[in-house]
Amino acid sequence: MDERYRLRISGGVLSPGELKYICEAAEKLGLDAISFGSRQDIIFPEKIDDTKFEQFNKIQFVKPKRDGVENIASSYVSAEILPSTSWLTSDKYLYVLEQFKRSPKLRINVIDPKQRLVPLFTGNVNFIASEHEDYWYLYLRLPGWKNTEMYPALIYSWDMDKIELAIENILIEEPENIETVFDLVSDAVDTNNRTVDKPLEVPFYPFPYYEGMNRIGPDRYWLGLYWRNNRYDIPFLKAMCDLCSENKIGKISITPWKSFIVKGIPLHSKLIWEKFLGKFGINVRHSMLEMNWHVPVNDKEALSLKKYLVTNFDQNDISTYGLTFGITSYDSDTYNFTSIVVEKNRQPEAIGDFKIRDTYNLLYAKNFDPNTREYIMHVQDVDKVELPGLLMELSQLYFEQLGTEREEETTGIINKEAAEEEVYQCSECLTIYNEAYGDITQNIVPNTPFDSLSETYECSLCEAPKSSFEKKVLVK
């Protein structure tokens, strides 16, 4: 499969003017449609004449496997329309993303853990919002690493770019673990890190329906648009950009599911937008059976398999609400981020004229939650005709266990008469010292008792003395 040119769209966010400029450039390059990628980027789906690129000085054309440039993914698209961390507003996303003015060589994610539309751990460098305003957990899975590891400190919002750049610069050292990365980055840059006082908690929500016209508050709407062939007609997009400008809509957001969302449509313009969609014959009520799929771009075989499976779901009247599906192959280097993965196997060498049929493996995420990053093999080496029945079997398993895992966990806590944890809290700024985590910002290793800290110990955030800390009991 030929790698098509892509355009970096930092955080998956762009203005109507920027999108219209891209559409006009695509037209002049002979295209009638553009596509969206799983990293919230824009893809030119056909071959184009790269000798004409100099005409479009506002665009950086990228072939990732050749240029080594990656896009920054973010959950800006979910702000205001899905559950969110209170301090992580749309404006805050934009301020944070503005830091990254260069072209990163690693995949960067800037994510709210309380939303469900954008996966958390698909980057090499994953910044995930904490409950402390302007502080982020950092999870790394650098090239060559098999697992994702948590950086032992919370990152300050305005340090994110320089820390990511420092991580890029130390790759030449080939760090093998998070401790080495922390030491090298700490030596390279000065930061305003904060100690990790509790583990990241990622609540479970069924995957949302993100298409159509939906209300935000009393006087605005958001619109989600999905085209099953991932070829968005340029005349429609240009006209939509003009309509956004007329309605003073400043941003358009791309999702990782090859769709996009327009937020902030005024109540008084709702009918105008509905007539506009009707004029272009836009369908805004696709079945969830077909929307929540991650299929490689320009892979006709994978798209055909998806259609075959979705048709079988539809004919059997199967519900897949809350589930997501991915199609991949043995040689793919992308991270899985769907509830269920259909993986095509490598074909053995043919002998004579004997025709070899493709076989597939089926995997599902633990609790059907891809954010667990743990996949379980369901079946191996099955024929295509067996897939629909097996996927329906997995769908039924999902609904049978939906919520039960968490109920068991909750019951376990209740039976222990509410698990309690002793911590020490700064009375000045409420920063917590948790003995289980220590304070890596001051070289205090995990499992260090508070009483054994030096009397010169100070709060890592406000520098209050050790005497300012008070013992607290937290109920988990």
Query: Which fold, 1-120+202-286?
Result: Sulfite Reductase Hemoprotein; domain 2 (3.90.480)
- Cα 397 from Cα 394, distance rounded (Å): 5
Sheet holding 33-36, edge to edge: 61-62, 6-7, 42-43, 33-36, 232-233
User: What class has domain 420-475?
Assistant: mainly beta
pLDDT at 107: 94
Which of 433, 465, 460, 463 shows the shortest CA–CA distance to 449?
433
pLDDT value of residue 471: 87
What pLDDT shows up at residue 352? Answer: 60
Q: What is the largest CA-CA distance in the chain?
A: 81
Q: What Cα–Cα distance (Å) separates residue 348 from each residue in 183, 362, 379, 381, 384?
A: 46, 19, 19, 12, 16
Residues of the chain with pLDDT under 70: 1-3, 64-65, 350-354, 403-420, 474-476
pLDDT of residue 62: 83
pTM for the whole structure: 0.84
Cα distance between residue 347 and residue 362, in whole Å: 16
Looking at the domain 289-402, which fold is it?
Answer: Sulfite Reductase Hemoprotein; domain 1 (3.30.413)
The whole-number pLDDT of residue 350 equals 63
Q: What is the Cα gyration radius of the chain?
A: 24
pLDDT of residue 408: 46
Q: What is the pLDDT of residue 407?
A: 47
Based on the number of CB atoms within 10 Å of its own CB, is 188 exposed (0-12), middle (13-18) or buried (19 or more)? middle
pLDDT at 68: 81
Domain ranges within the chain, ordered by starting residue = 1-120+202-286, 289-402, 420-475
SS3 assignment for the chain: CCCCCEECCHHHEECHHHHHHHHHHHHHCCCCEEEECCCCCEECCCCCCHHHHHHCCCCCEECHHHHCCCCEEECHHHCCCCCCCCCCCHHHHHHHHHCCCCCCCCCEEEECCCCCCCCCCCCCEEEEECCCCCEEEEEECCCCCCCCEECCCEEEHHHHHHHHHHHHHHHHHCCCCHHHHHHHHHHHCCCCCECCCCCCCCCCCCCCCCCEEEEECCCEEEEEEECCCCCEEHHHHHHHHHHHHHCCCCCEEECCCCEEEEEEEEHHHHHHHHHHHHHCCCCCCCCHHHHCEECCCCCHHHHHHHHHHHHHHHHCCCCCCCCCEEEEECCCCCCCCCCEEEEECCCCCCCCCCCCCCEEEEEEEHHHCHHHCCEEEEEEEEEHHHHHHHHHHHHHHHHHHCCHHHHHHHHHHHHCCCCEEEEEEECCCCCEECCCCCEHHHCECCCCCHHHCCCCCECCCCCCEHHHEEEEEEEC
Asked if 107 and 71 touch (Cβ cutoff 8 Å), the reply is yes
Distance between CA atoms of 309 and 323, rounded to whole angstroms?
A: 14
